[in-house]
Amino acid sequence: MIEISLVFIVILSALLFGSVETWSMALIGLMTAAAFIFFVLRGKRFARVSSGMKAIPIALAAILAYTLFQLIPLPLSLVGILHPGMKEIVTLSPNIAPAYHSISLYPFVTEQALSGLVIYFMVFFMALFGIDRKESFLRVIKALAISGFLLALFGIIQKATWNGKLYWFRELTQGGSPFGPYVNRNHFAGFINMIIFLSLGIALRSRKTEQKVLFAFLTVVMAISLFLSLSRGGIISFFAGLATFSFILLTQSISKKRLIPVFLFVLALGIYLIPLGVSPVIERFAQTEVSHEQRLVAWQGTLSAFKDFPLFGSGLGTFEHVFKIYQPEGLMGYYDHAHNDYLELLLETGIFGVLIGGFFFFFVLRGILKTEWKDREIYLEAGFLSSLATMAVHSVFDFNLHIPSNALLFFLILGMAVSFGRVNAS
């Protein structure tokens, strides 16, 4: 039941335009909460939690507690000491200066961001403690691979028959660079990239030839859709995931023959891409001039804003409200995100928030890496870590983790990776 619910929620969130609209995120949130309540009521699985995994829920609780701390009203004089720029921003005039204000510049949006964070952590929690049999892992990965293939196929067909509307009927009211159900092709690339390497892992792990061929084919089609999306960040992340996959096989295996299937995958991808045309991809990268890249200017502006909110940040989710005050001259357009998840997190949560988040990911990665993966399960380890690596790299160039569908998939894979290492070691 939990497996079906998680896969359904993640895929539906992608189909609903990435769940970036209020109505779609509300629907996904209600479904996730219902699945989580059902999971908690079962309760018996929590008795199996090992001492080594207890640090992860504690780190999760610390992140939520820190975000709540950002919402607590404090004397404005104290807030001014903690954040040099805060007092000037929230004081409209000396006569109507508020006596108290929270660490968050805009508490309402921080509350919204906190509710989203709770939903993501629910998915992570259910994946971590609810998927605890090898058969369950394989079913979830196969379901994601098949769903990802269908999503990729839809994106390819829609691109070939493009009429200026998503799903051929939804108008683009604010422009964009759409692919599949996403208004922004970079977010489609971020989503499909994570599934590509899970699918590659399950293809190489399979002992049956027909399953190998099937999932290899699904993987190649998904990779083709990634390149056709022309997402530069997505393509760079893909090669980062491929390098991670190959590195894990080299370091965890005595035999270098295990790299042959990876080479064949790249070869098959090339054979498919050449007839379709690789010149648009080459032209897309050729147009890039780093010295004129707007993202670099946005990053500089983000760092400038951070100097006024160094310790506790401006408040989770407040980037767009803070950045317009610090937006550098020469930066064209409106930026509601930094196009760098790390810098945006630094501005919104400060040094202490980054440290708390770092502890969470430290315990998670320790749970994955300390496991001795056995025999053919190495392909699944490579798939999990490569999927996470694609998002880690793509987050340098974009804001994928602020897209609900992509964040849901990321936390699902993160929880499964830790849980599978525990199950595999038992």
Q: How far apart are CA 346 and CA 353, in angstroms?
A: 7
pLDDT by residue (tens digit) across 258-280? 777 788 888 888 877 776 666 67
Contact 193, 409 (CB under 8 A): no
Give the structural domain span for 306.
2-425
**3-class secondary-structure state, position 74:** strand
What pLDDT sits at residue 64?
95
Question: Residue-wise pLDDT tens for the chain (426 aa)?
Answer: 788 899 999 999 999 999 999 999 999 999 999 999 999 887 655 545 555 677 888 999 999 999 999 999 988 888 878 777 676 666 655 556 677 888 998 999 999 999 999 999 999 999 998 887 888 899 999 999 999 999 999 999 999 898 888 899 888 877 678 999 999 999 999 999 999 999 999 999 888 889 999 999 999 999 999 999 989 999 999 999 999 999 988 887 656 677 777 888 888 888 777 766 666 777 776 666 554 577 888 898 999 999 888 999 999 999 998 888 888 887 777 788 999 999 999 999 999 999 999 999 999 988 888 776 777 788 888 999 999 999 999 999 899 999 999 999 999 999 999 988 766 655
- What single-letter amino acid sits at 126? M
- Residue matched to tokens 């207890």: 54
Token pair recorded at residue 313: 């940040």
Q: Cα 142 vs. chain centroid, distance in angstroms?
A: 20
Token pair recorded at residue 123: 């998915």
**222: nearest Cα among 245, 199, 242:** 199
Q: What angle do CA 328, 334, 340 make, to 5 degrees?
A: 75
Give the 3-state DSSP-derived string for 306-322, with helices as H, strands as E and coil as C. HCCCCCCCCCCCCHHHH
**301: nearest Cα among 265, 270, 285, 325:** 325
What pLDDT sits at residue 245?
92
Q: What angle do CA 51, 387, 249 make, to 5 degrees?
A: 85
Q: How far apart are CA 201 and CA 205, in angstroms?
A: 6
What pLDDT sits at residue 281?
73
When divided into structural domains, the chain yields a total of 1
Q: How far apart are CA 246 and CA 39, in angstroms?
A: 36
* Distance (Å) of CA 391 to CA 233, 261, 283, 420: 10, 23, 24, 20
- What single-letter amino acid sits at 259? L
Query: How does strand 74-75 pair with strand 100-101?
Result: antiparallel
* Distance (Å) of CA 163 to CA 156, 170, 172, 178, 287: 13, 10, 11, 12, 25
Q: Which residues pair with 100 in a beta bridge?
A: 75
What is the reported pTM?
0.92
